[in-house]
């Protein structure tokens, strides 16, 4: 075996697809049967934009991923990317720095965008009730990616190109020696030249260095679907964008949402980083009814009058967050044959197809076309 990929969620499905495409003898192993609802890659939609708020170093990953989503769609017939536009609703004065990042990325990658003042926002998107100080940055080519469809399509392509996929098999240990890596599972023991760890929130449990394991904190997240009051047409993709309501002056006001994919509900959520979860397997996956009601009251009420307080469902998901909320994509220090891909911190999906390609390049060529140096372990261990 040339390579074993541990975990077949967003990152692992992209990695196994890209490796198989290059003719690498690759085995992908997942303890569940992806796509599934136990990790970080479920819930129908993920924001995608190439004008990345998180920093200019991410733009090339998103740009390349958009190219891959379209290619994956063409090769499988799946619907992965919906370019319904993505709207960042910010306080203009406070967010000037972030908009400057956008302008540089837009120029560098030829990405269309529009700036909308409060009057233009009310005219174009009357679904939002915005204050006079709010400004919008609309990227028409952004929108959302369907995580389950993206994972299924990449696993389908991986198998088409010859990858072996073992679902429902749990990796218990990864032991790296000078000449090979041994992967022990609950079913068998394998050896490979290289291993790529894409275990999402379970990554820390596979690292034998407690200092490195501590870098990956797991946080419970909750997604809510609320019913639409009034015209459902007003919330369809095309009429209503994927959006981020930035609480720049008040961080507790940050939330995001999507156009309706089922014609009846709108999905909204926020990032929750208050309580680190000690073990992803004991995460509380229940959502009390008052959690949804509290979310609606705090975030939606008064801002999206067409979105009712009636939650039709809520779902729990996990962020894996590093201390600087940036990714780790690197070889494991002291274990050159083991690669780690932990690009979560709540913003990884949009970059995942390109990260899979970069991982495959690292495995086969030892170097990547896209610059991954901002995501090295070294920034924490220096
Ligand atoms: C609520 C929420 C909202 C988000 N919103 C956005 C967004 O709008 N835009 C965006 O770009 N990103 C977003 N993200 C982040 C994005 O979804 C993640 O970056 C991405 O899903 C992480 O993928 P992953 O492959 O690392 O983890 P996962 O998809 O969870 O995959 C890990 C896999 O490893 C398997 N595994 C774990 N341990 C083992 C083991 N021992 N043996 C075998 N298999 C194992 C698991 O079963 C799982 O399938 C969001 C995340 C969450 C949770």
> Which residue's CA is the closest to the ligand 1 atom numbered 44?
30
* pLDDT tens, position by position, 247-299: 755 667 899 999 999 999 999 999 999 889 999 999 999 999 899 999 999 99
Question: Residue 96: is its pLDDT beyond 60?
Answer: no
184 burial (CB, 10 Å; 0-12 / 13-18 / 19+) is middle
Using pLDDT thresholds of 50, 70 and 90, give the confidence band for residue 101: low
Q: Are residues 222 and 122 in the same domain?
A: yes
How many angstroms separate the alpha carbon of residue 247 from the centre of ligand 1? 25
Contact (CB, 8 A) for 116 and 124: yes
In a domain, 251, yes or no: yes
Distance of alpha carbon 376 from alpha carbon 342, whole angstroms? 11
Distance of alpha carbon 51 from alpha carbon 70, whole angstroms? 18
Q: Are residues 235 and 138 in the same domain?
A: yes
Neighbours of 322 (CB within 10 A): 19
* pLDDT tens, position by position, 9-63: 999 999 999 999 999 999 999 999 999 999 999 999 999 999 987 888 899 999 9
Q: Are residues 248 and 372 in the same domain?
A: no
**Which residues are CB-neighbours of 40 under 8 A, at least 6 positions away?**
9, 10, 200, 201, 317, 318, 319, 320, 344, 348
> Which residue's CA is the closest to the ligand 1 atom numbered 50?
346
Q: What is the CATH number of the domain that holds 240?
A: 3.30.9.10
Q: Is 148 touching ligand 1 by the criterion CB < 6 Å?
A: no
In a domain, 254, yes or no: yes
* pLDDT tens, position by position, 155-181: 999 999 999 999 999 999 999 999 999
Closest approach atom of ligand 1 to CA 34: 49
How many angstroms separate the alpha carbon of residue 89 from the centre of ligand 1? 26
Distance of alpha carbon 320 from alpha carbon 345, whole angstroms? 5
Distance of alpha carbon 45 from alpha carbon 240, whole angstroms? 14
Contact (CB, 8 A) for 321 and 345: yes
Closest approach atom of ligand 1 to CA 13: 25
Of 267, 266, 263, which Cα lies nearest the Cα of 233?
Answer: 263
* Prior bond of 10 cis (ω within 30°): no
Closest approach atom of ligand 1 to CA 43: 1
How many angstroms separate the alpha carbon of residue 290 from the centre of ligand 1? 26
Q: Are residues 332 and 190 in the same domain?
A: yes
How many angstroms separate the alpha carbon of residue 42 from the centre of ligand 1? 8
How many angstroms separate the alpha carbon of residue 305 from the centre of ligand 1? 32
The CA-atom distances, in angstroms, between 192 and each of 5, 25, 138, 159, 197 are 10, 10, 46, 19, 13
Q: Are residues 97 and 173 in the same domain?
A: no
Q: Are residues 222 and 211 in the same domain?
A: no
Which domain does 366 fall in, by range?
3-42+147-215+324-381
């Amino acid at each position: 075996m040339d390579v074993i990929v541990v975990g077949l969620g967003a990152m692992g499905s992209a990695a196994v697809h890209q490796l198989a495409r290059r003719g690498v003898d690759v085995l992908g192993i997942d303890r569940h049967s992806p796509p599934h609802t136990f990790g970080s890659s479920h819930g129908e939609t993920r924001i995608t934009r190439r004008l990345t708020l998180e920093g200019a170093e991410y733009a090339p990953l998103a740009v390349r991923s958009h190219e891959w989503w379209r290619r994956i769609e063409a090769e499988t017939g799946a619907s992965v990317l919906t370019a319904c536009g993505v709207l960042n609703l910010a306080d203009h004065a406070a967010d000037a720095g972030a908009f400057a990042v956008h302008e540089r990325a837009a120029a560098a990658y030829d990405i269309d965008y529009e700036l909308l003042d409060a009057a233009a926002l009310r005219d174009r998107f009357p679904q939002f009730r915005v204050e006079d100080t709010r400004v919008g940055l609309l990227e028409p080519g952004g929108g959302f990616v369907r995580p389950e469809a993206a994972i299924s399509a990449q696993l389908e392509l991986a198998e088409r190109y010859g990858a072996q996929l073992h679902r429902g098999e749990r990796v218990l240990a990864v032991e790296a020696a000078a000449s090979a890596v041994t992967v022990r599972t609950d079913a068998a023991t394998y050896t490979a030249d290289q291993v790529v760890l894409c275990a999402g929130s379970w990554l820390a449990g596979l690292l034998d260095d407690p200092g490195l394991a501590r870098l990956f904190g797991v946080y419970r997240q909750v997604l809510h679907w609320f019913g639409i009051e009034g015209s459902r047409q007003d919330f369809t993709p095309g009429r209503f964008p994927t959006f981020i309501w930035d609480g720049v002056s008040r961080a507790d006001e940050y939330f995001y949402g999507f156009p309706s994919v089922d014609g009846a509900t709108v999905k909204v959520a926020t990032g929750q980083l208050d309580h680190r979860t000690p073990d992803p397997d004991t995460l509380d996956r229940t959502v009390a009814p008052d959690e949804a009601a509290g979310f609606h009251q705090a975030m939606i009420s008064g801002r999206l009058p067409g979105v009712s307080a009636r939650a039709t469902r809520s779902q729990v998901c996990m962020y894996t967050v590093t201390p600087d909320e940036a990714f780790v994509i690197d070889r494991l220090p002291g274990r050159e044959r083991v690669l780690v891909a932990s690009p979560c911190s709540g913003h990884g999906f949009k970059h995942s197809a390109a990260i899979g390609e970069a991982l495959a390049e690292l495995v086969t060529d030892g170097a990547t076309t896209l610059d991954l140096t901002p995501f090295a372990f070294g920034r924490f261990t220096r």
